[in-house]
Amino acid sequence: MSEIKKNPDELGALWVKTNGRGEFMTGTVNGVAVVCFKNDRKTGNQPDWRVLKSKPREGGNQPVSPTQQDMTDQDVPF
């Protein structure tokens, strides 16, 4: 089998998921677990998606996705 070479420009990877609130993405960027939400409150020149660090679940080490209600404008420096 041939060895797969990693792209030196790659910073991470994201997967699209869907829950009762809609579509979001999870993955890693530079080794940091992240979750991405569509910015439903977009006005003017604001980002289409917001990237947040995943929060660990209580009593475990698996990351959990924060809800959009948990987000404020201070969460992401855009």
73 within a domain of the structure (yes/no): no
54 within a domain of the structure (yes/no): yes
Q: 1-43: per-residue pLDDT in tens? A: 667 788 999 999 999 999 898 899 999 999 999 999 999 888 9
37 within a domain of the structure (yes/no): yes
Q: Provide the CA 36 distance to its chain's centre, in angstroms.
A: 3
Output phi, psi for 59, to 5 deg.
Answer: 75, 10
Among 26, 19, 16, 21, which Cα is nearest to 51's?
26
57 within a domain of the structure (yes/no): yes
4 within a domain of the structure (yes/no): no
20 within a domain of the structure (yes/no): yes
Checking if the pLDDT of 74 tops 60, the result is no
44 within a domain of the structure (yes/no): yes
> What radius of gyration do the chain's Cα atoms show?
15
pTM above 0.85, yes or no: no
Q: Are 37 and 68 in contact (CB under 8 A)?
A: yes
- Domain range for residue 37? 12-62
Looking at the 3D structure of the chain, how many domains does it have? 1
